[in-house]
Structure 1
Amino acid sequence: MKSRRDFIKKLSVGAGILPMTFSFAPYQKHQYISDIQDGPVLKVAIMGLGSYGNRVAEAMKDCKRAKVTGVISGTPSKIKDWQAKYNIPDKNCYNYENFDAIKNNPDIDAVYIITPNALHHGQCLRVAAAGKHVICEKPMSINAKEGKEMVDACKKAGVHLLIGYRMHFEANTLEVIRLRNAGEFGTVKFFQGLSGFKIGDPNQWRLNKELAGGGAMMDIGIYSINGARYMVGEEPIWVTAQEVKTDPIKFKEGVDETITFQLGFPSGVVASCLSTYAFSYLDKFFLVGEKGFAEMQPSTGYGPIKSWTHKGRLDLPHVTHQTTQMDQMAAIIFDGKKPIVPVDGEEGLKDMKIIDAIFQAVKSGDKVALKL
């Protein structure tokens, strides 16, 4: 089974909004993968040893400030494999029943939760109660209520709650944000976000409402939700949405196949987005203003990200996203670093409020007000 994010293999020739051709001149390369200051190394236990857990662990081999020191899994054979691969001692290995004991383990500073969505809430609360920092994959929960409880629990415990928004540290993404803030595009008018792939195995957890909390929107649509917010640079104030389901057997009640949704922003900007499990080659952001545009395709895949504006190519050098993410998260936890785009629990909670509103809009057919 392919990873939920490993779906971009080639670009779709016909996906562009504007049928334009350009003679691209390269931009000056701005360095967004900033030098990591020397300091303490974040000792991380990975919870959930599936495909993405493996991807994160492999990327962390190149980290300067983060290291895999523990594992939490319900599969003993996986634990043995990880122990051999990452030199993890028995005392740093836990299962889902006994991992509260990390409280007394100085070899673990943080737990990266990479399990099915519906498990995040309870696992986060337990990690926080053990006094360890929480890094949680997105979506942070299956609804805003649970997300808020996670934020509150981590605040009460005095630990960080960070969400796995790897794109918030990606160089092309940050360059587009810089250009927008500098007025390069003029007044922003419109954003389009396309996020989708054709999902395979009908028996996987991503198509199980009890584990996933939904379907494509939770898994891949969240990229366009989050992307709309950081690309436009505002928080939306309303949403409308429409659902299409062509295979009700594969996509059962409560598991969305395809949803188109629209976000309205205070300045009058409208975002038009698509989330789907029905077809592939959808990984594109397009931002346009009065003076220019920025386009990214792929925009959120594992990379390299391809990007350009009305003035030419960007395509800043690719660094493995999870490597940068974990180093930067160590700097957030230990050094108090403030990222350009937040990755804290409040950021994740905003996306959950929008997802709740999208589902409400699909059901009611009405425009739903947002208060983030």
Structure 2
Amino acid sequence: MDNRRTFIKKSGLFLAATTLPLPNFLLEKKKLGVALVGLGYYSTQLLAPALQETEFCELRGIVTGSPEKIPEWQKKYGFKDANVYNYENMHQIADNEDIDVVYIVLPNALHAEYAIKAANAGKHVWCEKPMATTAKECREIISACEKNKVKLSIGYRMQHEKNTQTIMKWAETKPCGKIRELEAAAGFNGSDLGWRLDKELGGGAMYDMGVYSLNAARYSTGMEPIAVTATHSTRRPELFEEVDETTNFTLEFPDGIIANCSTSFGQNLNNLEINCENGWYYLRPFQSYSGVKGKASDGTVLEPFGKNQQAVQMDDDALAIIKDKPVLVPGEEGLRDIVILEKIYESAANAGKRLTL
């Protein structure tokens, strides 16, 4: 595969020359330099524009295997030649004090390899979801970041979103009483799916969109599931020869809570609905890039939050680095989803067999 990627870290964050810690207001004015690794749709259309809206980080570099993209990116964002890398020389980013964070935006199967290289280089690691394609890879990423004393954050932007955080809080405060069941569905009807049709690159609906449903079931209950059953289906077998087009899965939680979840590349799905003993609440849509909104049975309305989701996410993660605080979505959170995701695939491969977790 010619899309090879490599990086290296050194956390050149503080200005030095004093033994006294800088006050918070000065720390917050120090922007972190971010390098995007991979210049596909998400980097080009969402992350790069969002970085223009952040307060505590900024786009300072790129890593790409497509040299024809470089002039346009430099013209648009103004970073210098020294901050442009390809996948053969990316290890040299270790010596670049402009770059504090490497954001990995690659096909899923490449996340682990390059997250580990980033950590070994000494750069803080932001990794898009899903964290990796196996639980083993997730643990290796966590270990590399711990060994190199760099922070690791997984790109679950919804956990940074205001209305989603309200749903997470309600899992604890139980405004409608105990949760009985929930439904989480995420998907879109697509055909131009590129690498997402390639099993070797980590394609499939469950990896791409299913983690939204899976993660939502977990954060909506505040619990970890104890069992899973799952099935795959397709209406376009000629297109989905290697990966799942649609996956339906049921998660069993403690206290008898059932989560009916689905994900698809063949249906438009975007809802999170929680039914409780004394009422209900929902988000529709629950994982769109904007306009997340909802309602509760007591009349509470969750209005859309106006800020750019990716900008909020990256500012939250930058402040965690600047202030040396825990990140909102650490590697362990990504690992938990992949442990369950592996069981979902195992269940589907065994005619929907119930598997305990």
Please state how far the C-alpha of 1:354 moved relative to its aligned partner: 1.0
- 5+ residue gaps, structure 1, are 1-34
Question: Within the alignment, does 1:150 sit opposite 2:138 as a pair?
Answer: no
Q: 2:265 aligns with which of 257, 263, 277?
A: 277
- Whether the 8 Å contact between 2:28 and 2:322 is mirrored in structure 1 is no
Q: 2:282 aligns with which of 295, 298, 306?
A: 295
- Whether the 8 Å contact between 2:184 and 2:273 is mirrored in structure 1 is yes
Q: Secondary structure at the match of 1:173?
A: helix
Structure 1 pair 337–304 and aligned structure 2 pair: CA distance change class (3 A):
farther
Q: Secondary structure at the match of 1:162?
A: strand
Question: Within the alignment, does 1:207 sit opposite 2:197 as a pair?
Answer: yes
Question: Within the alignment, does 1:178 sit opposite 2:169 as a pair?
Answer: yes
Partner of 1:344: 330
Superposition CA RMSD, Å? 1.6
- Whether the 8 Å contact between 1:116 and 1:205 is mirrored in structure 2 is yes
Structure 2 counterpart of 1:356, which letter?
Answer: E
Question: Within the alignment, does 1:88 sit opposite 2:106 as a pair?
Answer: no
Question: Within the alignment, does 1:259 sit opposite 2:250 as a pair?
Answer: no
Please state how far the C-alpha of 1:157 moved relative to its aligned partner: 1.1
Q: Percent identity?
A: 41
CA distance, structure 2, for counterparts of residue 136 and residue 201 of structure 1: 24
Task: Give the length in aligned residue pairs.
Answer: 330
Q: Secondary structure at the match of 1:82?
A: helix
Q: Secondary structure at the match of 1:261?
A: strand
Q: Secondary structure at the match of 1:353?
A: helix
CA distance, structure 2, for counterparts of residue 214 and residue 115 of structure 1: 12
Question: Within the alignment, does 1:249 sit opposite 2:238 as a pair?
Answer: yes
Partner of 1:187: 178
Structure 1 counterpart of 2:282, which letter?
Answer: E
CA distance, structure 2, for counterparts of residue 321 and residue 166 of structure 1: 6
Question: Within the alignment, does 1:231 sit opposite 2:208 as a pair?
Answer: no
Structure 1 pair 292–180 and aligned structure 2 pair: CA distance change class (3 A):
farther
CA distance, structure 2, for counterparts of residue 169 and residue 158 of structure 1: 24
CA distance, structure 2, for counterparts of residue 183 and residue 224 of structure 1: 20
Please state how far the C-alpha of 1:316 moved relative to its aligned partner: 4.2
Structure 1 counterpart of 2:333, which letter?
Answer: E
Please state how far the C-alpha of 1:153 moved relative to its aligned partner: 1.1
Structure 1 pair 361–36 and aligned structure 2 pair: CA distance change class (3 A):
farther
Q: 1:354 aligns with which of 336, 340, 343?
A: 340
CA distance, structure 2, for counterparts of residue 355 and residue 236 of structure 1: 11
Per-residue CA deviation, residues 24-81 of structure 1 (Å, 9 max, x unaligned), is xxxxxxxxxxx99834212100111111102111011111101011100001121221
Partner of 2:123: 132
Question: Within the alignment, does 1:315 sit opposite 2:303 as a pair?
Answer: yes
Question: Within the alignment, does 1:47 sit opposite 2:37 as a pair?
Answer: yes
CA distance, structure 2, for counterparts of residue 317 and residue 103 of structure 1: 37
Structure 1 pair 322–36 and aligned structure 2 pair: CA distance change class (3 A):
farther
CA distance, structure 2, for counterparts of residue 36 and residue 233 of structure 1: 35
Question: Within the alignment, does 1:363 sit opposite 2:353 as a pair?
Answer: no
Partner of 2:316: 328
CA distance, structure 2, for counterparts of residue 294 and residue 229 of structure 1: 16
Structure 2 counterpart of 1:246, which letter?
Answer: R
Partner of 1:306: 293
Structure 1 pair 58–36 and aligned structure 2 pair: CA distance change class (3 A):
farther
Normalising by structure 2, report the TM-score: 0.89
Q: 2:56 aligns with which of 54, 62, 65?
A: 65
Question: Within the alignment, does 1:165 sit opposite 2:165 as a pair?
Answer: no
